[in-house]
């Protein structure tokens, strides 16, 4: 099936892409299974070197991949350098290919040899979202390959171009044909991949509603699934925080970065009452200075949302919040210009945390600012959500930073900084923000299954 991709910055066609259905998914899994056997037959040092070669090839094409990211979903080129994270994940996990993956342990009442080994699943299905597709590709494909698997990579039909180019770069780097098979697809192709009997594990990044469908499809063959889902992250601004830094971090981690279209978006900003007005003034000033425009212009810091449907949904949420008295609309809430899918950065103040505005993931440039007076109150409000992917704390008190971080129900807590995802750190959610982790040795283990071998010693 042909899919006409629309460039979000203009609303005009960007090209057509062939989408995979069940038949193409079946061919991709078969090719991946053949390639995995070839991959497993290579020595670990050879697999390591090939992954390093792939990282080198990706490095040589970073500018191209960044521009394809812009074409995919209209992210400003100033932020599209996230292609570098793909390279970093590849280099990091290449180093795991020749490291110990198992242990030996003694056993009770015996001198037997007890081996605990970690082995690949075989073929792993990776389903990436349209936002940050290369980051997710790095965080899932790199450890899957290092663990000895082959990968069928299904990018969203809304962002296929960078992923398709990555598939070509895998071949240019010398990886076996089929080891990384890229199959752009819509919901039909995703369902076929999740329920395919030749898939050993699924890694899914996206929304909770789609995750439920993936889990149902995967249940056909009891295929395990690792998920990284949505968020409604809290950003706690304490009275002792550096307010200039806090305002900058809050603006970019909130409505500006990817136009708020990020699972890591800090959309609930909790500010101590003593500095509430001062913070708001600085915060609105940073947002007001944002450069809105052509995503290909390096000076642009705020781009469009992904589609007309997304713009309509976001603006409907704003209208509903205004009508329902969820908070005071201080800034934004309207479309920008006549071309493309631009929605103004939008700020609500004194928001009720029980409102839909504060509880439901808007996935757009809309943030809620709330007051708190005591640390306990801030933690209670921050945790009062079904999500738990990220949390942010702005404070110069080291004791408070440690104390609060341990009380927040979140897979990651960032102190005085952005959500700086790295291959060394495990990333994933609590509660409805997902299960499992990508990154770190925990991310490697997601793509390995454990085998126990016991050898009798008489």
The phi, psi pair for 94, rounded to 5°, reads: -55, -35
220, 239 in Cβ contact below 8 A? no
Beta bridge partners of 15: 5
d(CA 93, CA 417): 25
Among the listed residues 418, 411, 405, 413, the one whose alpha carbon sits nearest the alpha carbon of residue 375: 405
**Structure token pair of residue 35:** 């390639």
375 vs 408: CA distance, rounded Å: 11
Structure tokens at 258: 């990817």
- Residue 390: beta bridge partners? 412
In angstroms, the CA 201 to CA 227 distance is 11
Alpha carbons within 13 A on the beta-carbon side of 41: 9
CB 180 within 8 A of CB 170: yes
Other CB atoms within a 10 A radius of the CB of residue 292 amount to: 17
With a CB cutoff of 8 Å and minimum separation 6, the contacts of 120 are: 36, 40, 147, 148, 149, 200, 447, 448, 449
* Cβ within 8 Å of residue 263, ≥6 positions away: 205, 228, 229, 230, 231, 389, 390, 433
Q: What's the rounded Cα separation, in Å, for the pair 454 and 105?
A: 10
Give the residue numbers annotated as catalytic, written as ranges. 228, 263
Tokens read off for 352: 């009720």
Q: Phi/psi of residue 385, each to 5°?
A: -160, 150
State both tokens at 248. Answer: 């900058």
Could you give the C-alpha distances from 422 to 138, 186, 256, 280, in angstroms and in order? Answer: 10, 29, 21, 30
């Amino acid at each position: 099936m042909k899919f006409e991709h629309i460039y979000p910055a203009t609303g005009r066609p960007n090209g057509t892409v062939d989408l995979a259905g069940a038949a193409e998914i079946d061919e991709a899994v078969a090719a991946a299974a053949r390639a995995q056997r070839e991959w497993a037959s290579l020595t670990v040092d050879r697999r390591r070197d090939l992954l390093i070669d792939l990282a080198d090839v990706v490095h040589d094409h970073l500018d191209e991949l960044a521009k394809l990211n812009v074409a995919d979903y209209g992210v400003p080129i100033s932020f599209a350098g996230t292609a570098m994270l793909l390279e970093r994940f590849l280099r990091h996990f290449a180093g795991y290919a020749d490291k110990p993956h198992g242990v030996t342990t003694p056993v009770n009442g015996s001198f037997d040899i007890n081996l605990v080994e970690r082995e690949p699943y075989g073929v792993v299905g990776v389903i990436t979202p349209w936002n940050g597709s290369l980051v997710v590709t790095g965080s899932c494909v790199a450890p899957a390959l290092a663990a000895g698997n082959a990968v069928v990579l299904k990018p969203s039909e809304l962002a296929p171009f960078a992923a398709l180019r990555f598939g070509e770069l895998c071949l240019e780097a010398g990886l076996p044909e089929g080891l990384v098979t890229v199959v752009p697809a819509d919901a039909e192709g995703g369902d076929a991949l999740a329920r395919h009997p030749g898939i050993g594990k699924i890694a899914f990044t996206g929304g909770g509603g789609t995750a439920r469908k993936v889990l149902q499809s995967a249940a056909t063959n009891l295929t395990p699934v690792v998920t990284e889902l949505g968020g409604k992250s809290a950003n706690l601004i304490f009275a002792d925080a550096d307010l200039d830094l806090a305002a900058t971090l809050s603006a970019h981690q909130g409505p500006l970065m990817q136009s708020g279209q990020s699972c890591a978006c800090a959309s609930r900003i909790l500010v101590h009452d003593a500095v509430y007005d001062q913070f708001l003034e600085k915060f609105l000033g940073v947002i007001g200075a944002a450069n809105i425009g052509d995503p290909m212009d390096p000076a642009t810091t705020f781009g469009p949302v992904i589609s007309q449907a997304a713009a309509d949904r976001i603006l409907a949420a704003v209208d509903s919040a205004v009508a329902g008295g969820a908070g005071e609309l201080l800034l934004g809430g309207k479309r920008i210009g006549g071309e493309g899918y631009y929605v103004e950065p939008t700020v609500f103040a004194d928001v009720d945390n029980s409102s839909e505005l504060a509880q439901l993931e808007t996935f757009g440039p809309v943030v809620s600012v709330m007051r708190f007076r005591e640390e306990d109150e801030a933690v209670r409000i921050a945790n009062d959500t079904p999500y738990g992917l990220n949390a942010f704390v702005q404070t110069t008190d080291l004791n408070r930073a440690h104390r609060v971080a341990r009380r927040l129900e979140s897979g990651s807590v960032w102190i005085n900084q952005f959500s700086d995802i790295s291959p060394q750190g495990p990333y994933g959610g609590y509660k409805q923000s997902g299960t499992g982790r990508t990154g770190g040795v925990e991310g490697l283990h997601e793509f390995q299954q454990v085998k126990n071998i016991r050898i009798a010693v008489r």
